[in-house]
Amino acid sequence: MEKTNKKTLEEIIRVDHAGERGAIKIYEGQLLALKTFKQNASLKRKIEEMKEHEREHYEYFNNGIKKRNIQPTKLLPLWDIMGVTLGFGTAMLGEKAAMLCTASVEEVIDGHYKDQTYKLGKDEEELKKKIFYLCNIFSDSKIYNYFDEYEKIKKEFDSLNFYEEINLPKRLTFKNKK
Ligand SMILES: [Fe+2]
């Protein structure tokens, strides 16, 4: 593919911007629970570290939005509330639920990013490289090692249906496109 469709490009950046921000909000919600009702210093440290990584990712797409004059989704305030609620709720359920929430988010985002790379043309090599990088850090990172119990936990919490929760922002973001 030579040239990226302008509308597709805008949607990609808008969705990724909302997704990375949502990830920060989930961690903020988890940290709120860990600073108030739940005591777990090691989990708190790990989540704080992961939140910093998400902040870097968010900054990248936030710059992209500004640089390219793309309108962010109008639903950002809603994602903020949903993200904090999801994070707070999962951390209140305990460490395993918090771990599953993070691993699910990373897995879903990873899938979206991979799909996006097929939609980007040669004119967007830099963005493509960045998205590839963001896909790979999940499987390469210590976050992944930290969640080596992920499959087991996923089965335990299947009934909570986190995937539906996480996919919701993407669907609504697309509907909200200008
Ligand atoms: Fe991220």
Q: How many domains does the chain have?
A: 1
Domain range enclosing 14:
6-171
pLDDT digits (tens, 9 = 90+) for 106-133: 878 888 888 898 999 999 999 999 998 8
Rounded Cα distance between 8 and 88, Å, is 33
- Of the chain, the percentage scoring pLDDT greater than 70 comes to 75
Mean pLDDT of the chain: 82
**pLDDT at residue number 175:** 47
Give the pLDDT confidence of 26-85 residue by residue, as tens digits.
999 999 999 999 999 989 998 998 899 899 999 999 999 999 999 999 999 999 999 999
Q: Do the domain assignments include residue 177?
A: no
Report yes or no on 1 lying in a domain: no
CA of 41 to the centre of ligand 1 (A): 23
Q: What's the 135 CA to ligand 1 centre distance in angstroms? A: 9
In a domain, 176, yes or no: no
Residue 38 placed within a domain: yes
Does 178 reside within a domain? no
- How far apart are the CA of 53 and the centre of ligand 1, in A? 7
CATH code of the domain in which 53 resides? 1.20.1260
Residue 81 lies in a domain: yes
